[in-house]
Chains A and B, each alone.
Chain A
C-alpha cells in the first residue's frame, strides 16, 4: 500500500500534517495536490520549506497527481496525498483514482459554513460534494490528529440533519 492517507486539510502542509500525521504514520513522501500552489513558484517554495528533510515532498496539479497515482508513481514509499477541499478529492475520483477512505481534517470556520465538528465547518456546496464522494463508495473519516476519535462523516450528516 504505497498511499496510506488521503487528507483534506485547508492549511495544506503545516504542523499538524507534518508533525502529527507525518511522524505517526512514518510518512516518506507528502504529495500536495493543488492547482493554485502548483502554478505559483513562490507558493511552492513556501510549502516545500515546511517539510522536514526526512520527508520528501512533491507538489502537483490535481490532474498530474491523479496521473501519477494511477501509474503507481508512488509505489514503494509511504505517501500522504494532501488536498485542501472535497472538490479536489472528487476530481481525483473522476480521473479514476481508487480511494477507499479519505481523512477529513481541518476545514475551518468562515461565514456560510455549518459546524460539523470543532475543526470541521462545511458550506452547503462542500457538503454536497462530500455526499457525492460518499455515494461513490468512499468512506470519509473525520479525524484531526492521529490519536483523536474518528467520526464517520456520513453518520454526522445524518445526525445533524444535513
Chain B
C-alpha cells in the first residue's frame, strides 16, 4: 500500500482528511501535518518524522497545497535528501513523490487506486484527476 502524508497551511490537511474519510471511510497509512507556528527547522524535523514513519515498501506520496509555499519548499528539501540517501543504497526508483495543489478529487483517486499499481503509475493518474476536478463556468 502506498502511504500518504498531507502537509499544508493551517487546518487544510485535516479538513481534507475529514472530507475524504467521510466519503471513503477511515484510511490507513495516512498522516496529516500543518505548518502552523513552525519555523524552517521545525517544519523539516516534523515532516521528516512523518515521512520516515511511513512504510516505504510501496512508496510514499507527500501532498502539499501550494507551489512556492513553505510546505512545498520543505517537502522538496526532505524528499531530495531522502532520495539521495536511498539511491545510494539501491538502484531502485525513488519511493517518494510530491504532489502539489492537493484537492479532494486527487485524494479520492489516490485512496481508490493505491493498492492497485506502483507509485510511478499512480502519480500521473492522481494529477490528472486533480486537474479534471477544476471546472469553470462563466
Known contacts A14-B73, A47-B73; A110/B42 CB under 8 A? yes
Q: Are B37 and A14 in contact (CB under 8 A)?
A: no
Is A23 located at the chain interface by the 8 A CB criterion? no
Residues of A within 8 A of B (CB): 10-11, 13-15, 18, 42, 46-47, 49-52, 84, 106-110, 118-119
Write the nearest CB–CB distance from A71 to chain B, whole angstroms. Answer: 29
Q: Which residues of A contact B66 (CB under 8 A)?
A: 15
Q: Which residues of B contact A106 (CB under 8 A)?
A: 39
Q: Which of B38, B40, B69, B80 contacts A15 (CB 8 A)?
A: B69
Q: How far is the CA of A11 from the CA of B44 in the complex (A)?
A: 12
From A113, which residue of chain B is reached at the shortest CB distance? B39
Q: Are B67 and A11 in contact (CB under 8 A)?
A: no
Interface range for B: 10 to 19
Contact residues of B between 15 and 55, Cβ < 8 Å to A: 37-42
Is B3 located at the chain interface by the 8 A CB criterion? no
Q: Are A110 and B39 in contact (CB under 8 A)?
A: yes
From A43, which residue of chain B is reached at the shortest CB distance? B77
Q: Which residues of A contact B76 (CB under 8 A)?
A: 46
Q: How far is the CA of A3 from the CA of B52 in the complex (A)?
A: 43
A-B CB contacts (within 8 Å), total count = 47
Q: Are B68 and A50 in contact (CB under 8 A)?
A: yes
Q: How far is the CA of A110 from the CA of B41 in the complex (A)?
A: 9
Is B83 located at the chain interface by the 8 A CB criterion? no
Q: Which residues of A contact B72 (CB under 8 A)?
A: 50
Q: Which of B9, B37, B38, B67 contacts A50 (CB 8 A)?
A: B67
Residue among B40, B66, B67 with max Cβ neighbours from chain A (10 Å): B40
Is B70 located at the chain interface by the 8 A CB criterion? yes
Q: How far is the CA of A119 from the CA of B41 in the complex (A)?
A: 15
Q: Which residues of B contact A119 (CB under 8 A)?
A: 37
Q: Are A50 and B73 in contact (CB under 8 A)?
A: yes
Q: Are A52 and B68 in contact (CB under 8 A)?
A: yes
Q: Are B39 and A14 in contact (CB under 8 A)?
A: no
Q: Are B68 and A11 in contact (CB under 8 A)?
A: no
Q: Are A109 and B42 in contact (CB under 8 A)?
A: yes
Q: Which residues of A contact B69 (CB under 8 A)?
A: 14-15, 50
Q: Are B39 and A11 in contact (CB under 8 A)?
A: yes
From B68, which residue of chain A is reached at the shortest CB distance? A50
Q: Which residues of B contact A84 (CB under 8 A)?
A: 40
